[in-house]
């Protein structure tokens, strides 16, 4: 790992981030990072516990003179999204993240950086280790599996935490103070079919690749007009659906990442090869033109490939392609109450067609429970019309804004003082934060979310702004100094 990261300011934070990023920590495989965090707490001589689901809690007494302040929970999640470029040779299960500095940004070499939410974790570690930072009684809550189900937050029982205020360090805009977030639900459609053999006589097989898209966070960036590889691929297939047979589709990866790539293997009559390829090439140019501003690196490639042994029946591929075309992707409804807030959205995240089985995965988000279920049921109806079985899972609540929050009243003037009178953006976000879930068992806890500038989260373009982290670190230290009295 580059030593230049450890020389950045504030060194105490960046060194903890470098230590953390040396530990493999993909979602649902957090055993090593849980041990790492427990060893860290015990080495400091602090009370350290692991709960039944794997969350780690480390307690540190108040510094001298701060004993009369309200106890604070500082919370971040240990896991990270594991995404890499196709041409990057990297194993998230065994390797630490390879970082480098480019101008004012820290980036990773062809993979996600883990700044989401590793910078929050590193912040808390630096405060726990410090002997000079003033703070009230602290509980560090390091949750697991935030990125693929929030099972850590869901599994945290009531009565474990003792704090009155929770500082969630998982926001990605340094001028934003988060007071609410969206809930979410996974919508998964499945279907089987009997494969049909092909004769190879007078037929050609082609591989279609959609690649070069930016990808990104399926909540925070869903309104930006980024390309979705699954929807682009389906648009191509729909255009020539009567003249081809689908053998395989493999598009997208993670439920909470906008799909960057999709691959399909198709078969069509050789005597129609020129006609079909001309149609697809023309449509590809149209799509690239539509997306040229947001997706300048989009590539759509057609290559002849080995003939597959089986394809989907025409009747099945017809309804599946049409259902995917009809499936909503992107913003479904903007909030009528909070300016510029996406209320409800859907990400068509994963499409797999192979060996007689179809699986389509979507992540629906909303800050309004009824609207979330309306979107989910719209998808359910769409896919059931195509003969699929549809299941809902991973349902988690949103976090209702509290504009009368005591900690919010503390943080706003601190931000203004540190930033020459500039006002922070107090807002709800369209990402899934753990505050809504934690609030179910801790309804009286005063919660807030904030963090440094992180761009491209959930994609290999993820990067953290060095100057913003310096600004954020000063903000954190001032907040801890000014926690209200009990």
Q: Would you please indicate which residues are annotated as catalytic (active-site) residues?
A: 79, 146
Supply 293's token pair.
């501003």
Q: What angle do CA 8, 14, 15 make, to 5 degrees?
A: 110
C-alpha 62/C-alpha 70 separation (Å) is: 10
| 333-to-117, 329, 339, 374, 430 alpha-carbon distances in Å | 28, 11, 12, 11, 12
Supply 213's token pair.
């898209």
Q: Which DSSP letter does residue 391 get?
A: E
Supply 443's token pair.
């309804």
C-alpha 220/C-alpha 203 separation (Å) is: 44
Asked if 423 contacts 408 with a C-beta cutoff of 8 angstroms, the reply is no
How would you label 183-194 residue by residue, b for 16+ Cβ within 10 Å and e otherwise? bbbbbbbebebe
How would you label 2-30 residue by residue, b for 16+ Cβ within 10 Å and e otherwise? eeebeebebebbbbbbbbbbebbbbbeeb
C-alpha 149/C-alpha 370 separation (Å) is: 20
**Residues facing residue 464 across a β-bridge:** 106, 454
């Amino acid at each position: 790992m580059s030593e230049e990261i450890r020389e950045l300011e504030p060194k105490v934070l960046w060194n903890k981030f470098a230590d953390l990023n040396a530990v493999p920590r993909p979602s649902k495989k957090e055993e090593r990072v849980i041990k790492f965090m427990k060893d860290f707490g015990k080495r400091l001589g602090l009370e350290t516990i692991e709960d039944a689901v794997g969350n780690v809690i480390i307690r540190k007494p108040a510094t001298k003179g701060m004993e009369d302040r309200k106890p604070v929970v500082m919370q971040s999640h240990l896991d990270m999204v594991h995404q890499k470029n196709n041409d990057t040779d990297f194993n998230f299960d065994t390797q630490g993240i390879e970082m480098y500095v480019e101008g004012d940004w820290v980036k990773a070499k062809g993979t996600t950086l883990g700044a989401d939410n590793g910078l929050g974790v590193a912040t808390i570690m630096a405060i726990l280790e410090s002997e000079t930072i003033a703070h009230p009684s602290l509980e560090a809550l390091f949750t697991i599996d935030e990125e693929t189900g929030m099972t850590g937050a869901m599994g945290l029982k009531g009565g474990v935490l003792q704090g009155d205020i929770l500082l969630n360090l998982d926001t990605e805009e340094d001028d934003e103070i988060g007071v609410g977030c969206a809930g979410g639900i996974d919508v998964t459609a499945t279907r089987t079919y009997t494969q049909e053999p092909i004769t190879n006589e007078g037929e050609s097989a082609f591989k279609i690749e959609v690649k070069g898209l930016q990808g990104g966070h399926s909540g925070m960036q869903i309104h930006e007009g980024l390309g979705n590889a699954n929807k682009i691929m389906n648009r191509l297939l729909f255009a020539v659906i009567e003249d081809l047979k689908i053998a395989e589709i493999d598009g997208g990866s993670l439920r909470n990442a906008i799909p960057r790539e999709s691959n399909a293997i198709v078969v069509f009559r050789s005597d129609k090869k020129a006609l079909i390829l001309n149609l697809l090439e023309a449509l590809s140019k149209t799509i690239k033109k539509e997306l040229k501003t947001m997706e300048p690196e989009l590539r759509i490639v057609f290559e002849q490939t080995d003939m597959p042994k089986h394809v989907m029946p025409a009747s099945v591929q017809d309804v599946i392609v049409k259902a995917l075309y009809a499936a909503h992707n992107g913003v479904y409804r903007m909030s009528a109450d909070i300016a510029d807030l996406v209320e409800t959205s859907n990400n068509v995240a994963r499409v797999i067609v192979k060996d007689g089985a179809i699986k389509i995965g979507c992540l629906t988000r909303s800050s309004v429970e009824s609207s979330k279920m309306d979107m989910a049921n719209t998808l359910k109806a769409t896919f059931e019309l195509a003969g699929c079985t549809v299941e809902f899972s991973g349902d988690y609540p949103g976090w209702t804004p509290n504009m009368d929050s005591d900690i919010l009243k503390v943080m706003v003037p601190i931000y203004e003082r540190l930033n020459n009178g500039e006002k922070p953006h107090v807002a709800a976000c369209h990402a899934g934060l753990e505050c809504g879930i934690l609030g179910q068992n801790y309804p009286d806890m005063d919660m807030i979310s904030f963090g440094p500038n992180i761009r491209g989260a959930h994609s290999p373009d993820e990067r953290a702004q060095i100057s913003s982290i310096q600004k954020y670190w000063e903000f954190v230290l001032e907040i801890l100094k000014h926690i209200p009295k009990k």
